[in-house]
Structure 1
């Protein structure tokens, strides 16, 4: 499952890239984080049982779907993820997962089209974040994702220069591995001497604003769930330090509110390495395990 097959999905207005890992008849579909790509699921796919296939979508404005047109936003991404499930699900309900913003996409897909899915695995995301109503979303984005967004508009002299940027990241460098390197290399495009990220700043900012202003909609998605859901969350956050993105109190609140949602802390990882580090094995195990065996 190390080298995925590159598939094209025709959607309204363009073509999206889908990475297929594995050849098994059992199916999972996946959505990635706000500036990431389907390649972020490489480690998880490698740990799935051999009778599974994982179809990881490059969301519009990212990866090899960077040139796909809008509209962007959670509704569009969720519809695209549902289209993946319909195209490659074999006519039966499939597993759906997502990490970070992708968890919100997977949640929206499961809430809107529950007949397509038999389980939902949220990875360090998917819960409404408490943001005061008078907060400027762009100011919050710049404060939390400023360096990440700035990277999208910069060029780099070589692939190695771009890799060095990630190797120096406090959440990635200490746990650098082949999966992280493959993920970073997949993100590169552009001519020699002016290499840059495939992710587009416009779609990233659009989706980031929606994440920060749609807590009520995410709450509706959660409370209306009819698909069994499991949340895996990391103790460390974007910079590799505590606290994590999802405080324990927030997790406890939503698991108490949503009967079909259970949660599990995953030790010794951060927001990124929960998916691309050694704990990817835990993510794969929970994704492949029947929901009645989660607890």
Structure 2
């Protein structure tokens, strides 16, 4: 069966400060497992469209728009990775899901690991996609400079306005990690981010949320420690290329080895070839690798590629 990635159900879950918007792609079998998927720092729940398609009804996929983004942009602060983790826990609790597999991409991987650490009774297993492993900043390097360099256009757009939806589409089509793979699904994902009225349309992402969350990705000790304190098994996938499709990726085998991950916790760590930071979610190779990890536990020992 082919799951429609562009037409998920939409629901809301109450959290402190408002109602969290959640996208739901239902399973075809009522007894199938449920997976909660956590997006990146300036993304929204529709980023999981290709994973939903490839799950093909074998599991229910729930993807919230994190507070300060997408249809949850009106959910007030405070922000921060622990706050997002508690929101994910609130989602699992509100829907009475029991111990649940949680997957996170980019910043969402830190949130996923923190959810498991802060709420161990609610998370059965985690899959971490191009995130969750923290390395210290070089001496003298400022966090805001790193955020600007790493996020690039994704961060720059937060201070921009757009006269119409086509202008926003053209902005994303010029992104080196987006344009070559452009599709109706990527278009829908980026358009979900747009709010306001013409000629002053803008990103739904709240700048304060991105700044607070980004600083914690780089510097927060609780977030950095989470992957080393997982109370359940975790699996790590990382992309071959970076956020701008450049050869310098966030991770490589040497850096992952240096991170000292506990093989009893992170039971598999694997490079996904021919992917960048974004296509690891929506490219064929990346989404299939994610789905395979989601549908079954990984190998019994580490596999650092």
Q: Is the 8 A contact 1:255 1:263 kept in 2?
A: no
- Which string of whole-angstrom CA distances, capped at 9 and with x for unpartnered residues, describes residues 246-293 of structure 1? 132221233644422121110111000101222212211211113457
Which residues of 2 match residues 189-208 of structure 1 at below 5 A? 189-208=195-214
SS of 1:72's partner is coil
Structure 1 unmatched ranges of 5 or more: none
User: Does 2:37 match 1:30?
Assistant: yes
TM-score by length of 1: 0.93
Counterpart Cα distance in 2 of 1:255 and 1:58: 32
2:265 to 257, 260, 263: 260
Quote the offset at 1:71 in angstroms. Answer: 0.8
* Residue 42 (structure 1) aligns with: 49
* Residue 16 (structure 2) aligns with: 12
Q: Which protein is richer in helix relative to its size?
A: 1
* Residue 251 (structure 2) aligns with: 246
1:106 to 102, 112, 136: 112
* Residue 233 (structure 2) aligns with: 228
* Residue 58 (structure 2) aligns with: 51
Which residues of 2 match residues 138-287 of structure 1 at below 5 A? 138-214=144-220, 216-254=221-259, 256-261=261-266, 262-278=268-284, 279-287=286-294
* Residue 82 (structure 1) aligns with: 89
Q: Is the 8 A contact 1:27 1:89 kept in 2?
A: no
Question: Considering only aligned residues, what root-mean-square deviation do their CA atoms show, in Å?
Answer: 1.8
Quote the offset at 1:134 in angstroms. Answer: 4.7
SS of 2:121's partner is helix
Classify 1:256/1:197 alpha carbon distance in 2 versus 1 (closer, same or farther; 3 Å). Answer: closer
Counterpart Cα distance in 2 of 1:63 and 1:163: 16
Mean CA deviation greater in 191-200 or 256-265: 256-265
Counterpart Cα distance in 1 of 2:139 and 2:152: 21
Quote the offset at 1:188 in angstroms. Answer: 1.3
Q: Is the 8 A contact 1:187 1:199 kept in 2?
A: yes
Q: Is the 8 A contact 1:18 1:38 kept in 2?
A: yes
* Residue 65 (structure 1) aligns with: 72
- Which string of whole-angstrom CA distances, capped at 9 and with x for unpartnered residues, describes residues 202-242 of structure 1? 1101111111112x323431222121100010010011021
Quote the offset at 1:46 in angstroms. Answer: 1.1
Quote the offset at 1:108 in angstroms. Answer: 0.3
How many residues align structurally?
A: 293
Mean CA deviation greater in 63-72 or 125-134: 125-134
Q: Which runs of 4+ in 1 moved over 6 A?
A: none
Quote the offset at 1:49 in angstroms. Answer: 4.4
TM-score by length of 2: 0.90
Mean CA deviation greater in 232-241 or 43-52: 43-52
